[in-house]
Amino acid sequence: MHNFLDFEKPLSKLEAKIEDLRHLSDDGDINIADEVAKLQAKSDKILKQLYSKLTPWQKVQVARHPDRPHFSDYMEGLVEDFTPLAGDRAFAEDRAIIGGLGRFRGRTVMLIGHEKGADTNTRMQHNFGMARPEGYRKAIRLMKMADHFGLPVLTLVDTPGAYPGVGAEERGQAEAIACSIETCLGLKVPLVSAVIGEGGSGGAIALAAANKVLMLENAIYSVISPEGCASILWRSGDQAQDAAEAMKLTAQDLLELGVADVVVPEPVGAAHRFPVPAIAALGDAVEEALGELMELDPAALRRQRHEKFLTMGEAEATS
Amino acid sequence: MNWLSNFVRPKISAMVGKKEVPDNMWRKCPECGQMIFHRELEENLYVCPHCDHHLRLHMGQRLDLLFDGEGYQKIELPESVSDPLKFRDRKKYTDRLKDARSASGDNDAIIVSHGKIGGVPVVAAILNFDFMGGSMGLAVGEAILSAARLAVLQEAPLIMITASGGARMQEGILSLMQMPRSILAVNKVKEAGLPYITILTDPTSGGVSASFAMRGDIAMAEPGAVICFAGARVIEETIHEKLPEGFQRAEYLLDHGMVDMVVHRRDMRDTLARVLNLLCNPGPPAHVVAIPPSTISAKNGAAKTRNGGNKKNAAPHRRSTDKKDAGKD
């Protein structure tokens, strides 16, 4: 049973009805099967309609959907022999960011990403994907290790943002993020980042100053949450819809702005309904991106990454 | 009416109203609440004479305090896109920009200047908090890049004075992208072997602190300055606890190992001058002991003499001139 978003209401009734009928069909009445098929077709049509024209605010909701596949799902679906590596060697292990070695389609990679958790227990454990300085420092450590061994790095971004807490501030949240960005930029190995859900501000860019930035079709990536933006600029959090609209935070907007390089299509109805094909689609896109980058030498990889971020926004100046 | 309001009234006010009387002769210290006479405040570099609270400085005041007596030169900054998203909240972004530009006389929330501090030529970039909260968008990113390029070209240290609420929300994701961009910029200075010194003033937060502001070789902070990633209000709303005394203030950061020193405004120029001279005038080259020619090849021997052989050169020697070969990459 799905968790239905507000805009998916028309679907929830239909799917409930289909479910009811399916239970009845155990009695062997053939007409009911016909009815189910009809309703299913109707439901599919509505789903297609709804998802063909999602507003930015609706995409925000889809990107944050609790059933949406998270880091662990991609890790299980795409990487063999995953071996998590823990700790920043200075203070603690931060489970908001998971990292480790694994084999992605035959090639050893360093996989790093935010994990939001899938239920109350794991969400608490992973702090809802909001990392503290230790998380970024672990990421830095692992990126440098990948650099040392000449392994490509794949990061999966899915975070509401860096954790705003007393300890996080005391231990240098800002410094940790700055250093993590710097480490991304300095790598001599390919770095591919994929925004799989929510790309929240500094917490996201800390892992995403990459050679190639992929975004899933219904992922978002922004400098501040629409709620935060609304409460500052509109003086009311209720205006989050307007803010989402104005901020241009969808994958399609970011492709146009030159921040995302590739938008990876999701099945109709989004990754939370059909996780398996969504995960596979991301895998294909990552494989393609990595394949291109593996042909570049270390200096060229750095140069390409530097050029990309030094000129970002300049494209708009000339057009 | 038009003639009266457009012509006569300005003429009259130009004749009678042009006396330089500040609106407020007295200013209340935001920290201790005491009233301070404007002249006293000015003489005290806008530091409260009662409680030593450092009030925020305007850009011009900051510049005057920074450089040696001969002053400084502003450099012209390249143009960048001003409204990449065609952003509009309750007000159009272009209108907000227009207002800020006419109020400040500058194009955006940063100026870049060069001059001497303690006799050492430097490039200084200064964020202007009065201009949309000193927020960083494309123009600020571009200016930091210009400042870094100029510093490398002049083989001069880069001084960065920050005062910013963070990223410029109205430029959306492109403002976030100025974080890697500004880090790349200041790294050009570092890679050239030149010092990058930050002076963190009240406030320095968000995307600015989480990028170039926290990457200084040496980080100085003004007393009492709020320096943070997340704002205190956001943290309070998240953890529902009272924050510790002095949280996110410069002294708190010093205690937690996040800055090198907290420097009183009146000591800032001297401190900077001292640090710059220590780094840029490290003294005469080390005394070179001749190695018997039999142990090394003739070619290496020649190189050694050329690099370090000038024993008589006791005059202060700018380190950056030695770096000509090292920094070109």
Q: How far is A315 from chain B (nearest CA, A)?
A: 9
Band the pLDDT of A39: cuts 50, 70, 90.
Answer: confident
CATH code for the domain in which residue A261 is found: 3.90.226.10
Domain with CATH 3.90.226.10 in chain B: 57-280
Residue bearing tokens 């991609």: A74
pLDDT for res A16: 86
Phi and psi at residue A103, in whole multiples of 5°? -110, 115
Does the beta-carbon distance from A170 to B187 stay under 8 Å? Answer: no
pLDDT per position as a tens digit, A258-288: 999 999 999 999 999 999 999 999 999 999 9
pLDDT for res A312: 85
Specify if A319 maps to a domain.
Answer: no
pLDDT per position as a tens digit, A163-219: 999 999 999 999 999 999 999 999 999 999 999 999 999 999 999 999 999 999 999
Peptide bond into A69 cis (omega under 30): no
pLDDT per position as a tens digit, B194-222: 999 999 999 999 999 999 999 999 999 99
pLDDT for res A10: 85
Half-sphere exposure of A261 (CA within 13 A, CB side): 20
Specify if A293 maps to a domain.
Answer: yes
Paired residues of B156 in beta bridges: none
- The span from the CA of A55 to the CA of B57, in Å, is 44
Based on the fold, state whether residues A142 and A22 are members of the same structural domain. Answer: no
Paired residues of B262 in beta bridges: B221
Based on the fold, state whether residues A254 and A109 are members of the same structural domain. Answer: yes
Band the pLDDT of A152: cuts 50, 70, 90.
Answer: very high
Specify if A150 maps to a domain.
Answer: yes
Based on the fold, state whether residues A161 and A215 are members of the same structural domain. Answer: yes
Structural domain boundaries, residue A277: 60-310
pLDDT for res B103: 94
- The span from the CA of A95 to the CA of A314, in Å, is 37
Nearest residue of B to residue A250, measured between CA atoms: B173
Based on the fold, state whether residues A44 and A165 are members of the same structural domain. Answer: no
Tell me the chain B residues in contact with residue A254 when contact means C-beta distances shorter than 8 Å: 173
- The span from the CA of B187 to the CA of A315, in Å, is 23
pLDDT for res B297: 60
The two three-digit tokens of residue A133, written as one number: 């300085």
Please work out, in degrees rounded to the nearest 5, the angle formed at the alpha carbon of residue B117 by the alpha carbons of A310 and B124: 20
Does the beta-carbon distance from A223 to B238 stay under 8 Å? Answer: no
- The span from the CA of A71 to the CA of A158, in Å, is 8
Specify if A318 maps to a domain.
Answer: no
Specify if A231 maps to a domain.
Answer: yes
Supply the DSSP symbol for A104: E
Residue B298 has pLDDT above 80, yes or no: no
- Domain B57-280, CATH class in plain words: alpha beta
| pTM for this predicted structure | 0.88
Substitution target in A171, A175, A222, A305 with the highest count of B β-carbons within 10 Å is A175
Based on the fold, state whether residues A143 and A233 are members of the same structural domain. Answer: yes
Domain count, chain A: 2
Specify if A94 maps to a domain.
Answer: yes
Q: Are the CB atoms for A199 and A213 separated by under 8 Å?
A: no
Residue A70 has pLDDT above 50, yes or no: yes
Residue bearing tokens 């231990």: A171
Based on the fold, state whether residues A39 and A78 are members of the same structural domain. Answer: no
pLDDT per position as a tens digit, A112-151: 999 999 999 999 999 999 999 999 999 999 999 999 999 9
Candidates A165, A235, A317; nearest CB to B238 = A165
Specify if A1 maps to a domain.
Answer: no
Q: How far is B121 from chain A (nearest CA, A)?
A: 26
Q: Are the CB atoms for A187 and A197 separated by under 8 Å?
A: no
Number of helical H runs and strand E runs in chain A: 15, 8
